[in-house]
Amino acid sequence: MAEREGGGSSPWVAFLAGIILVAVVAFGVVAYTGGLQQRETAQLELNMPDVKKNPPDIDLPDPPPAPTLPPSAEQAPAEAPSN
């Protein structure tokens, strides 16, 4: 059989060179269209008076009781009435 001659790293070098080329072209397109320029920012100023209001006094009802766990299997069940 014929043996391959060569280093074998040239496909990887070509792949990386292609990625770099695409990145440079993309950067050029963004720079050409004005994507790298700083844009003006809008400023908004609101002058509001300081208003202090006390929260309303509300009497809330008591919360419902916490749920209880059902009896476990380790506890002896109550004896059933006999007929």
What pTM, to 2 d.p., does this model score? 0.38
CA distance 82 to 79: 9
Half-sphere exposure of 17 (CA within 13 A, CB side): 6
In terms of phi and psi (left: phi > 0; alpha: psi -120 to 50; beta: otherwise), the region of 34 is left
How much is the pLDDT for 27? 92
Token pair 């009497």 is found at: 59
Q: Which helix (H) or strand (E) holds 14?
A: helix 10-32
Mean pLDDT in residue range 30-47: 81
Residue 19 has pLDDT above 90, yes or no: yes
For residues 30 and 36, is the Cβ–Cβ distance under 8 A? Answer: yes
